Amino acid sequence: MELLNFENAKTDIHRLLISQLDLEKLSRIDGERARHAVSTMIQQIVAAGRVPFNAAEKEKLNGDLLDEVFGLGPLEPLLRDHDISDILVNNKNDVFIERQGLLEKLNISFRDDAHLMQIIDRIVSAVGRRVDESTPMVDARLADGSRVNAIIPPLALDGPALSIRRFGRGPLDPDSMLAFKSISPEMLELLCAAVKARISILISGGTGAGKTTLLNMLSRSIPDRERIITIEDAAELQLSNPNVIRLETRMPNVEGQGAVRQRQLLINSLRMRPDRIIIGEVRGEEAFDMLQAMNTGHEGSMCTVHANTPRDALSRLESMVAMTNLNFPEKTVRLQIASAITIVVQVSRMSDGTRKVVNISEITGLDENVINMHEIFTFKKKGIAPSGKVVGVFQPSSIRPRFMEQLQVAGVSLRGDIFDHAMEVN
């Protein structure tokens, strides 16, 4: 049967199915039995109809319709595929995915805008949020921890759009990061040691460069005895530490009230006796309070920022602080940044789809009016192999970090030859 005919027949059967289903009753019986009951109904409808499905078509029909009734419709098969890292629905007809770092368009579509809206509703209502004309943008997350953003008309011009960021089978562990050649063993060792020794780290990178993933991985090095509070707009971090409290912002309600922003959560978290605070991504006013926290006893706190170079990351922070405190002298802000943050890690998505830590820099203070920063490790790109793979080298600079002393004081030891090895990537 042609795809279009199949889809049309499926729509008809779906409509019949919905008209016969007692959703309220269905919600009272357990998952497996409910699925079985619905499957039986589908078979009956197919048998009563005159459309000749072959065995494979019947199976697909059954699977698709179960996904519609119990799950997220056409998105379900994509969510089951753990190789897919992003699911991007531009509109009802255009669905893209990212696999192994590269985008591809899929040949799937939603019946109409209403169908897509229904699925978006199902996702956001599950986390107590909503999306409608008065709140046409929303962040949410799926049960598996995937981050979801939905934006609908009138802001999205061609119908509802949905972006889902997946996190594979759980956070990447250090071994996989090494296997993916995202970082060299020496760089990894240095960063993990810095985390143990409560040296504050800022992770910088562009969209989808791997900031959150790196933050997750580095958090594993936080000693178990420490208490961590995480603050996010849409909870994505998956920390395995024993003493963690996760906080998430809240959108305003229909009357425009009740919003809770990152800054408010941060101020509250200071009364919760945190050893470290982790902000998923600093975007605005909370930058100021985060720097203050880092300067006043919450060393070892971490956050990410959207920026293209370590320098750029510092200016982004600076403008966030300046925007919240209009009358702060520039120098004060820079001093605050320089004393709060010691390491800036830059991550980047390469043309071959891999993510790499392209720079580890150390901030050493303020000179005149400029923040002093030097590179400790960099990834130098040399070219692209015929296979499309990026070729280059993870390289230590000739400068030894000043924070080595801090490591020592904290009793964290490093291999002596950590700054002697470059790692070729080819």
Ligand X SMILES: Nc1ncnc2c1ncn2[C@@H]1O[C@H](COP(=O)(O)OP(=O)(O)OP(=O)(O)O)[C@@H](O)[C@H]1O
Q: Which residues bind ligand X (CB under 6 A)?
A: 85, 165-168, 172, 177, 180, 182, 205, 207-213, 355
The listed partner (ligand X, Mg ion, none) that binds 213, CB under 5 to 8 Å by sort, is ligand X
The listed partner (Mg ion, ligand X, none) that binds 19, CB under 5 to 8 Å by sort, is none
Task: Tell me if 131 sits within 8 A of 138, measured CB to CB.
Answer: yes
In the three-class reduction of DSSP (H, G, I as helix; E, B as strand; rest coil), residue 132 is classed as: strand
Q: Which is nearer to ligand X, 153 or 168 (CB)?
A: 168
The listed partner (ligand X, Mg ion, none) that binds 310, CB under 5 to 8 Å by sort, is none
Task: Tell me if 131 sits within 8 A of 124, measured CB to CB.
Answer: yes
Min dist CB 322 to ligand X, Å, is 23
In the three-class reduction of DSSP (H, G, I as helix; E, B as strand; rest coil), residue 241 is classed as: coil
Q: Which is nearer to Mg ion, 211 or 356 (CB)?
A: 211
Helices assigned H by DSSP within 298-398? 310-324, 330-340
Min dist CB 306 to Mg ion, Å, is 9
Q: How far apart are CA 221 and CA 240, in angstroms?
A: 10
Helices assigned H by DSSP within 296-345? 310-324, 330-340
Backbone angles phi, psi at 211, to 5 degrees: -65, -55
CA torsion 325-265-247-207 (nearest 10°) is -10
Under the phi-then-psi rule, with left for phi > 0, alpha for psi from -120 to 50, and beta for the rest, what region is 52? beta
Min dist CB 8 to ligand X, Å, is 35
Q: Which is nearer to ligand X, 142 or 335 (CB)?
A: 142
- Residue type (1 letter), 142: L
Q: Which is nearer to ligand X, 187 or 407 (CB)?
A: 187
Min dist CB 281 to ligand X, Å, is 6
Q: Which is nearer to ligand X, 184 or 213 (CB)?
A: 213
Min dist CB 195 to Mg ion, Å, is 18
The listed partner (Mg ion, ligand X, none) that binds 63, CB under 5 to 8 Å by sort, is none
The listed partner (ligand X, Mg ion, none) that binds 413, CB under 5 to 8 Å by sort, is none
Give the Cβ contact number of residue 211 at 10 Å.
25
Min dist CB 216 to ligand X, Å, is 8
Q: Which is nearer to Mg ion, 184 or 212 (CB)?
A: 212
H or E stretch covering 79 = helix 75-80
Min dist CB 100 to ligand X, Å, is 8
Residue with structure tokens 């990410």?
304
Q: Which is nearer to ligand X, 197 or 347 (CB)?
A: 347
CA torsion 423-353-191-199 (nearest 10°) is 150
Show the beta-strand stretches assigned E in 142-194. 147-151, 161-165
Q: Which residues bind Mg ion (CB under 5 A)?
A: 211-212
The listed partner (Mg ion, ligand X, none) that binds 208, CB under 5 to 8 Å by sort, is ligand X
State which residue has the least CB distance to Mg ion.
Answer: 212
